[in-house]
Chains A and B, each alone.
Chain A
Amino acid sequence: MITKRIIPCLYTKGGRVVKSGNGEPLQGVPTPVALARKYSDGGADELVFCDSTALTEGRTTFTETLKEVARSVFIPLTVGGGIRRTADFEHVLACGADKVSVNTGALNNPSLVEEAAKKYGDQCVVVSVDVRRVQGEFRVFTDRGKTDTGLNAVEWIRRCVGNGAGEVMVNSLDTDGERKGFDIELLQAVCKAVKVPVVASGGAGSIEDFVRLFQEIPDIDGGLAASVFHFGEIDIGVLKERLSQNKIHVRK
């Protein structure tokens, strides 16, 4: 059986690892390449790179970083940040990405997911969605959580999958940064709605949060986190050992 995936996420800017929310450089954290190597050697199942400047002002730096990572790490790489057109897919895939995640790009360009899926295959297109509750409804947000699109998140995800998205990355803005666990209620709703892999993001603070995620939602495929891994609060080897003790199938 396919294993559950543990996915460290690296937000980068100007060739450095930064904080997801404000883009401030994280002090005491190695370079993206050194960190990627550490995770790969430590048992991460996949890496996600997200760079808001990936295809604009930071294009050259990001391209170099990505290529260097892809040359030195032999696990799947997902790349996101500023993906607006199919040409952007082309660019990051040529630099060694295996999957490309789209967020705002899919909202602004309704045919992007479909075009990319047709051209590069469903498995390559990941839709990343930022979700927050508004009056009891799961809503899609953009601009790092500042703007409410008014779209129902579960409906939006269903539509993207219908258009060919092969995977969904669900980030809960309600739990993100709180370190009190993943947004189980939201993730359950998404897993019920679609049959493609779903990756949980936002809220991981401890090993128990991952155990709870996989125990409460047997259909969830992976758990993603950033700072708890970057600062060594959670060691991937220890995390996988604990998951395994809890009968959760992981690669060791």
Chain B
Amino acid sequence: MIAVIDYGVGNLFSIKSSFARIGADVVLTSEEKTIRNADRIMLPGVGAFRDAAAKLKETGLGELVRTELKKGKPVMGICLGMQLLFEKSYEYGEHEGLGILHGEVVPMRGYIDPRLKVPHIGWDSIHIEKPSRLLKYCKEGDYVYYVHSYFASKCQDSVIATSEYDKALTAAVEKDNVFGCQFHPEKSGEVGLNVLRAFCEMK
């Protein structure tokens, strides 16, 4: 069973539907017991980093994810959920993340060509940086759907794919049993469903 952590950040309808579509057993939950009993954990998230990080802290769910991760359970973050896995974010100030992955989350503005629109929103292609388990069903140039204004940086040890806006932006990460993608697999058609399939097969 996959526990999708429901901590009041963003809409989980599509994530639930995507897992259902690929035949995965999924539950949306914030219950410690259910999360402990799950085989895999997904950390979703849409919205502001600071609020989401605060919620993970005050509910103890962040600590729980860390504990389960240490037991070897596969954990995957999506979009803001992925960003939260890093050490810190510079979204409106400086905020601490879960610190599970090395790296920080920084604004696109100031990094990319100022003429480009921010948020980076829409379909973009991925460039595979190195072989991974998460993207085992994906290929170079596959299109995925993005909605974000910040991206993970200084994460050379975990980045497995990037998308080129005018410079490379982190698309997906993997390190041991930690996985993440900046794009929305639940909105990326068949390519996205394949990313979720790969996660469901993680041992």
User: Residues on A close to B: CB < 8 A?
Assistant: 1-3, 5, 40, 45, 67, 70-72, 74-76, 93-96, 98, 121-123, 166-167, 195-197, 221, 251
Contact B17–A70 (Cβ < 8 Å): yes
User: In B1-46, which residues have CB < 8 Å from any A CB?
Assistant: 11, 13-14, 17-18, 20-21, 46
Name A75's contact: one of B47, B125, B189 (CB within 8 Å). Answer: B189
- Knowing A74-B186, A96-B17, A195-B117 are in contact, say whether A3-B122 is a contact too (CB < 8 A): yes
- Knowing A2-B165, A94-B11, A96-B17 are in contact, say whether A221-B122 is a contact too (CB < 8 A): yes
Interface 1/0 per residue, B138-180 and A, CB below 8 Å = 0000010111000000000000000011100000000000000
A167 to chain B, nearest CB (A): 8
- Knowing A75-B145, A75-B187, A121-B47 are in contact, say whether A2-B13 is a contact too (CB < 8 A): no
Interface residues of A: mostly helix, strand, loop or mixed?
A: loop
Contact B11–A2 (Cβ < 8 Å): no
> Cβ of B137 < 8 Å from any Cβ of A?
no
Give CA–CA (A45, B145) in the complex, Å: 9
- Knowing A74-B193, A76-B187 are in contact, say whether A96-B122 is a contact too (CB < 8 A): no
Name A123's contact: one of B147, B186, B192 (CB within 8 Å). Answer: B147
Contact B117–A74 (Cβ < 8 Å): no
Q: How large is the interface on B (under 10, 10 to 19, 20 to 34, 35 or more residues)?
A: 20 to 34
Residues of A within 8 A of B120 (CB): 2
Residues of A within 8 A of B119 (CB): 122-123, 166
Give CA–CA (A48, B200) in the complex, Å: 30
> Cβ of B202 < 8 Å from any Cβ of A?
no
B80 to chain A, nearest CB (A): 11
A240 to chain B, nearest CB (A): 11
A214 to chain B, nearest CB (A): 14
For the complex of A and B, 9 pairs with smallest distance between CB atoms: A2-B122, A251-B143, A96-B13, A251-B123, A71-B17, A3-B123, A123-B147, A76-B187, A93-B11
Name B165's contact: one of A1, A3, A74 (CB within 8 Å). Answer: A1
Residues of A within 8 A of B193 (CB): 74
User: Residues on B close to A: CB < 8 A?
Assistant: 11, 13-14, 17-18, 20-21, 46-47, 117, 119-125, 143, 145-147, 164-166, 186-190, 192-193
Contact B46–A121 (Cβ < 8 Å): yes
Residues of B within 8 A of A167 (CB): 121
Contact B14–A123 (Cβ < 8 Å): no
A245 to chain B, nearest CB (A): 18
**Taking CB as reference atom, which chain A residue is nearest B165?**
A1
Residues of A within 8 A of B164 (CB): 1
Give CA–CA (A40, B191) in the complex, Å: 12
B22 to chain A, nearest CB (A): 10
B177 to chain A, nearest CB (A): 25
Contact A96–B123 (Cβ < 8 Å): no
Contact A2–B121 (Cβ < 8 Å): yes
Give CA–CA (A181, B164) in the complex, Å: 32
**Taking CB as reference atom, which chain A residue is nearest B142?**
A251
Contact B117–A196 (Cβ < 8 Å): yes
Residues of B within 8 A of A93 (CB): 11
A64 to chain B, nearest CB (A): 14
- Knowing A1-B165, A76-B187 are in contact, say whether A94-B117 is a contact too (CB < 8 A): no
Give CA–CA (A195, B121) in the complex, Å: 13
A123 to chain B, nearest CB (A): 5
Name A74's contact: one of B11, B121, B166, B189 (CB within 8 Å). Answer: B189
B10 to chain A, nearest CB (A): 9
Contact B123–A5 (Cβ < 8 Å): yes
Give CA–CA (A100, B146) in the complex, Å: 17
Contact B20–A71 (Cβ < 8 Å): yes
Residues of B within 8 A of A70 (CB): 13-14, 17
Residues of B within 8 A of A197 (CB): 117, 121-122
A219 to chain B, nearest CB (A): 9
Give CA–CA (A75, B144) in the complex, Å: 10
Residues of A within 8 A of B145 (CB): 75-76
Give CA–CA (A251, B123) in the complex, Å: 7
Contact B21–A74 (Cβ < 8 Å): yes
A5 to chain B, nearest CB (A): 6
